Amino acid sequence: SRAKTCRENRRVTMRVAAILLPATVSALAALTGTTVAPLKGGAPVDVGALLAAPTKQCVIFGTYAADFNAIEYAQRARHYLPKMRAKGVDGVSLILNAEPAAAAKACELLGVDADEISVFCDPTGAAGRAFGCSRGWLPDEDALFDSIPLNAYGKLFGMLLGLGAWATLPAVIGGYIGNPFRGQPWIEDAI
């Protein structure tokens, strides 16, 4: 019956919430005091306070302004903004690991309206690190086994093989060939 299904759904929701609550509290604690600069100017914003706001927020921790992931998330946010608003999302924020000039150029090229989507600059990537975002394979190492020189291209090659981020290669291949099983309307909108 419908009432039984609703009770089951509530039980599952409560179990999921009980599992995720400690991780959420830990992430908020790590982000409290980490600030990002609004692209539109003004005082720095505490990311922990942004996430703890009593309103429904969508906060995207982007990568570099010219990175495919950041570009795709910005395009998706722009495309789905009306649907998010209809579902009660009060604010959408995009944090980019970029200087203001690079973030502004990305917004210009992608058609992101900074009045609709709050864009924040985090040139050092401090917010993403505090949130626990992966920095890739051996992000702070210049050598492999302390003797073999390793530059950025070597690290990228290692990541393509799945080192440090096991899902990199399937995601890259999926980006090139697309998903034949489900339409992605945000892509057509971005073109």
Q: How far apart are CA 11 and CA 4, in angstroms?
A: 11
Tens of pLDDT along 25-83? 566 777 888 999 999 999 999 998 888 888 888 899 888 888 778 888 899 899 999 99
Q: How far apart are CA 60 and CA 66, in angstroms?
A: 15
User: CB-side exposure of 152: number of CA atoms within 13 Å?
Assistant: 1
Q: What is the pTM of this model?
A: 0.73
CB proximity list for 66: less than 8 A, separation 6 or greater: 102, 106
pLDDT > 90? residue 105: yes
Specify the pLDDT at position 35: 92
What integer is the mean pLDDT of 4-28? 56
Specify the pLDDT at position 10: 63
Q: How far apart are CA 17 and CA 83, in angstroms?
A: 24
